[in-house]
Amino acid sequence: MSFASPAFLWALAAVPAVLLLHWFRRRVVERRVAALFLFEELGTRTSGGRVRAPIERTASLLLECLLAALLALWLAGPVFGETKVPHVVVVFDGSASMAAEGVLGAAERRLSALLAQRGQDTRLSVVRSDEPPELLLGPRAPAAGLREAMAHIRPVGRQHDLSPALDLARQLAGQGGEIVVVTDGPFVVADARVLACGQPATNAALRSVTISDEGAHGNLVVHVGSHGRATAQLEVAFDDGAPQGVPLTFVAAASGEPAVRRVTVPLPPSWQVARLRLDADALAIDDEAVVVAEPRTDVGIADERAAADRTVLPLDRVWSALSGWRPAPAHEAQLVVRSVPAAPQAIATMEQLEVVLAPSQGLASGRAVERRGPFVLDRGHAWLAGIELADVRWPSGPAGVPGRALIAADGEVLLGEEIVAHGRRCFLDVAGDGGGLVRAPAWPILFHNLVASARELLPGVHERSVRLGDDVVFRRGAGDAAVGLVVVAPSGARTPLPAGRVVAVRTREAGLHRVVAANALGSEQEIDRFAVRFADAHESELRDRQAGEWPPQALVAGHERADDPAALAAGTRRWLGLVLLLLIVADWWVLQRRPT
Amino acid sequence: LAEDPTNDTADVARHHRLVFGRRPFGGQDGARRAPGIGSSLELHGFRDYVLGDDLRHVDWRGYARNDQLRVRLHEAQVAPHVDVLLDGSASMAVTGPKVRTVQDLVRAFVSWAADADCRSRVLLLGGDELAAADVADAVFVGGAAPAPPRVALRPLGLRVLITDALWADDPQPVLQRLAAGCSQFVAVQVLDAFEQAPTEMAAVRLVDCETGRRRELRLDRAACDAYRERLERLCAAFADAVRALGGTSVRLTAGAFATICAEDLTNAGIVEPA
């Protein structure tokens, strides 16, 4: 047996108090008599009704002692069965709006108060909701660790579903734990208590920052959203230059929707990093953004076909229509065109896209086939984006090509994809000079898509301006395979990149990140850089935030958890209360029966 | 506290009757011998005839023997009056059993008087006549000092005094006035069980039901013994005073009326089995 409030066991001191009262006979029996004169000068006159006399073992004494003992038990809240230490699992909303001014402080105060209510022995687990959720404290850590856990909360996430975090919390809570969700707005969970600590506030946010090709060197196009603010000040700085101030005035929409202003800033030549900042308001994370210029990188292309094949089916017109490529030797190229697949040992150590441009077997026998369709296309594949083959006459071999079918006609595969050891291979079944196929728009579009696909094989960061929470994909170059690479965040946090040719890192901090290579001597060399910025209109909207508390729906409906210590104590208290009431009635009845 | 007498009480009363003494009673014609000449069958004596005497009473047989006209005189027989004198002090209703016993006694004496063809009245000490059925706890509001009823008492009758006799003063004077002129005087002293024998109590606040005075004390064995000794002296003085007036007294404890009739009243010679 354990007690919900063991401090109240001090009330057991009421038992000797009852004995003392009876010892001193505080209760004087009153009796009406007919001849008081016969009692004159008899007995020892009492002093104010209190006479020290031997304790009479009356039913009233026993009942009142029992009453005092049961009253102490009732106050202490006994819980029968296995002794359980309260366990509170806190699910902290990791979305960025929780970082608004005053929210974290209010959350810590309310959590501290709740843990104090649960008792000193309370165990604590803290889960921060994110994608995926993260266990910040525990499981079942001492409640004193709350302050340290709160210091590491750093809510920077986008709007997300709390269900994964709640599922994790349910696993941690088990049968006897209590789940508490800390968020900043109305939220109801059937089996969790919700503490909302938000406060309504106005806010302005950098909605998006993009680079357009307009103008001499391009423009920086910025969208600033206002959630209740009338004015804002935007500062833009390129590299180490002085910031340019742009005053913004917003016109509030009648519907309450956020007002959005579009700002265009001309880009200077040869800029590398642009930093944007709004003046301070309730939420800081959406007031800053960093943009990194995308370096110009060309795809290396090698046409390894025999001279005769290049003469029959030239690709010069196709290459001239494309940009962002350069001729390269086969071992350095990302895209290689061949007439026959290369032997495995002939393929370079780096990844390549090999295009095998040749008719399928049987052409030598002179049995070329002109496919008129209908053509079956895998529209979901990136190579076939924008491809239209209606009315196209496709000369091909008679047997079709191997690989996963991306384009087929007459039951034969005309374009197939094959995954090989160091990349992908594209089989393109084209006979002769290509006939109507090379004169159709689909022909250059297909090679454009192939070059774009080969561009992904370039080493370095795949996309250099990403939103917070997105993954950054990094592809190691041919010489980087054995080098340890580390992502250095603006705060200085270092995240080693895992082994592998292509790796992805989840962004958890806004700002300019660097990818550095650490050598054995301890020096670092910057390999690449990328910018992470926060953008989530829902999280920037703080006007609808509010504070409140919502108990678990199970308790609201009157279905208390059978293993909840508080519920068990309440159940025991109800029975003790009933017994107390019966004892009071019995004591009253006994006293009433005493002769008067 | 007051309740109507139960059928059991009436049944108990029917199995008993009043015992009248030998002293002559007065009253209307009845079955009891009375002083003086009456019309009963009992021959009292003879006297000479005087003009106007009823010729039916002439002793014609004697006249035939000696030619003297004499008249036969018969004894008088009456039905005595029964006056039930009820102590109306508040102490008579100090407990439920006590007031119920008093009610039973009043109604039983009235019933017994009726059975003996006697006319009866219930008279409140210091007050007026009231019906037996009206005897209830509301009646007992008087003070501690007894006084004769405001209604004149009938002479040569039976007077029954129902009281607890817990009077601090000498009972002789008031008893003399209550018994004056009656042929038979009966005093029934009714006490409650606690009044007869108080129980030991560690601390008790006693409240006088008539004066409201309070006294807190411890009733130990010695105090109870001293109380009983005082009560005995008080009751003995009351009984002596009644006896000195030629009356009969009985002290009984409030309780079952059957026991009171069969033991207390019968042993005292106040009633006898019918």
A539 sits in which H/E element: helix A537-540
Beta bridge partners of A227: A203
Q: How many CB atoms lie within 10 A of CB B31?
A: 13
Q: From the CA of B271, how many Å to the nearest CA of chain A?
A: 28
Q: How many separate helices (H) and strands (E) can be counted in chain B?
A: 8, 11
Are A40 and B219 a contacting pair at CB < 8 A? no
CB of B75 within 8 A of CB of B44? yes
Looking at residue A416, what is its pLDDT?
93
**Which tokens belong to A345?**
């040992």
Q: What whole-number distance in Å separates Cα of residue B67 and Cα of residue B54? A: 18
The predicted-structure confidence for A436-483, as pLDDT tens digits, reads as follows: 888 888 899 999 999 998 888 888 888 888 888 888 888 887 666 667
**Which tokens belong to A120?**
């000193």
Q: What is the ipTM of this complex?
A: 0.78
State the burial class of residue A57 (Cβ atoms within 10 Å of its Cβ: 0-12, 13-18, 19+). exposed
Looking at residue A261, what is its pLDDT?
87
Looking at residue A44, what is its pLDDT?
59
Helices in B67-155 by DSSP H: which ranges?
Answer: 96-115
Residues (pLDDT < 70) of chain B are 1-7, 24, 26-41, 76
Torsions phi, psi of A587, nearest 5? -65, -40
Q: What whole-number distance in Å separates Cα of residue B151 and Cα of residue B130? A: 11
B241 sits in which H/E element: helix B221-244
Please report the beta strands in A228-368, taking only residues with DSSP state E, as ranges in sequence order: 231-238, 244-249, 259-266, 273-278, 288-292, 299-303, 325-327, 335-338, 352-357
For residue A205, the Cα-to-chain-centroid distance in whole angstroms is 20
Q: What whole-number distance in Å separates Cα of residue B156 and Cα of residue B25? A: 5
The predicted-structure confidence for A522-579, as pLDDT tens digits, reads as follows: 778 888 889 998 888 888 888 888 888 888 875 544 444 545 556 666 777 788 888 8
A436 sits in which H/E element: helix A435-439
Give pLDDT tens digits along chain A (596 positions): 667 667 778 888 888 888 887 776 556 678 888 888 888 777 555 544 555 556 667 788 888 888 888 888 888 777 766 556 788 899 998 888 888 888 888 898 988 888 888 877 888 899 988 878 888 887 888 888 888 888 888 888 888 888 899 999 888 888 778 899 999 888 878 888 888 898 898 899 998 888 888 877 888 899 999 888 888 899 999 888 888 888 888 887 777 788 888 999 888 888 888 999 999 888 888 899 998 888 878 899 998 888 888 888 888 888 888 888 999 888 888 899 988 887 765 555 567 888 888 877 654 555 778 888 789 999 899 999 999 988 888 888 888 888 899 999 888 888 999 888 778 899 998 888 888 888 888 899 999 999 998 888 888 888 888 888 888 888 887 666 667 788 899 988 888 888 877 888 888 888 999 888 877 667 788 888 899 988 888 888 888 888 888 888 755 444 445 455 566 667 777 888 888 888 888 888 887 766 54
Q: What whole-number distance in Å separates Cα of residue B71 and Cα of residue B55? A: 8
- What DSSP designation does B56 have? G
Q: From the CA of B192, how many Å to the nearest CA of chain A?
A: 9
Least CA distance to A34: which residue of chain B? B91
Q: What whole-number distance in Å separates Cα of residue B78 and Cα of residue B25? A: 7
For residue A268, the Cα-to-chain-centroid distance in whole angstroms is 37
Residues of B in contact with A29 (CB under 8 A): 201, 203-205
Q: At what angle do helices B96-115 and B7-14 cross, to 10 degrees?
A: 40
Residues of B in contact with A36 (CB under 8 A): 206-208, 211, 213, 215
Strand-by-strand arrangement of the B248-253 sheet: B120-124, B82-86, B158-163, B184-191, B248-253
Looking at residue A447, what is its pLDDT?
92
Looking at residue B98, what is its pLDDT?
93
For residue A285, the Cα-to-chain-centroid distance in whole angstroms is 16
Q: Which residue in B202, B208, B217 is closest to A56 by CB distance?
A: B202
Report the DSSP pairing between strands A231-238 and A87-92: unpaired
Report the DSSP pairing between strands A299-303 and A325-327: parallel
Are A36 and B220 a contacting pair at CB < 8 A? no
**Which tokens belong to B199?**
């129980």
**Which tokens belong to A431?**
């006979």
Are A45 and B166 a contacting pair at CB < 8 A? no
Q: From the CA of B209, how many Å to the nearest CA of chain A?
A: 6
Residues of B in contact with A38 (CB under 8 A): 166, 227, 230-231, 234
What SS3 class is residue B99?
A: helix
Beta bridge partners of A277: A235, A288
Looking at residue A558, what is its pLDDT?
45
Partner A, chain B 180-199, Cβ-Cβ below 8 Å:
192, 194-195, 199
Looking at residue A568, what is its pLDDT?
65
What SS3 class is residue A429?
A: coil
What SS3 class is residue B243?
A: helix
What SS3 class is residue A202?
A: coil
Beta bridge partners of A524: A518
CB of B142 within 8 A of CB of B125? yes
Looking at residue B1, what is its pLDDT?
36
Q: From the CA of A39, how many Å to the nearest CA of chain B?
A: 6
Q: Which residue in A25, A33, A35 is closest to B202 by CB distance?
A: A25
The predicted-structure confidence for A320-335, as pLDDT tens digits, reads as follows: 888 889 998 888 888 9
